[in-house]
Amino acid sequence: MKIGVLALQGNYEMHSQVLEKIGIEPITVRYPHELDTVEGLVIPGGESTTMSKLMNRMGFYKPLKSFANDYPVLGTCAGLILMSEKVVDADLEPLGLLDVQVERNGYGRQINSNTINIEFELNNVGYNIRGSFIRAPKIVSYGNSVNVLAMYDEFPIIVKDNKHVGISFHPELDNISILHEYIFLSDRTNN
């Protein structure tokens, strides 16, 4: 199995390492035609406005939306912002893959970065992981199609909508692979 990691900007290398750790071949995706070579995609954390501008310049929006009709997409931090339906505090074009509305830096600026313990359940198995929040987006509202997998401070921090998963924090910074395994290795028909 080959999973793409959008490599326009941001922390794509650490996601590639997590994918390798779980036996998935990571493919860096820098051009839209490279989506044809993968069966899923990670949109990493980074700077969402910069990533949006680069995606626009490279012509990623239409091919990526088409790709997402058939394959799972995992977005962390800025990736979640780009996958959202609406960003309340920024002038950027989201992909609309997750029926969520997000607020950039909703958990504070860089100085407010922190790590918390997160407890959640996937496929009837409980997990307790570290979550590194760095200028993390806050999911301020979500639609009926969204399954909330974990909460923090009364807001969702891990969500699933159809085959796609959005995460407010950075699991790759703590070498946590369970969410990558969940979206790319578990039964994709189990939405």
Residue 43 pLDDT level (bands cut at 50, 70, 90) = very high
Domain extent at residue 9: 2-185
DSSP code at position 31: S
190 in a domain, yes or no? no
Active site residue ranges: 77, 170, 172
191 in a domain, yes or no? no
**Sequence-separated (6 or more) residues with CB below 8 Å from residue 15:** 5, 26, 42, 44, 76, 172, 180
103 strand-pairing partners: 138
What is the tally of structural domains in the chain? Answer: 1
Provide the CATH number for the domain around residue 42.
3.40.50.880
**Residue 8 scores a pLDDT above 60:** yes
pTM here? 0.93
For the stretch 125-174, pLDDT in tens is 999 999 988 889 999 999 999 999 999 989 999 999 999 999 999 999 99
Residue 116 pLDDT level (bands cut at 50, 70, 90) = confident
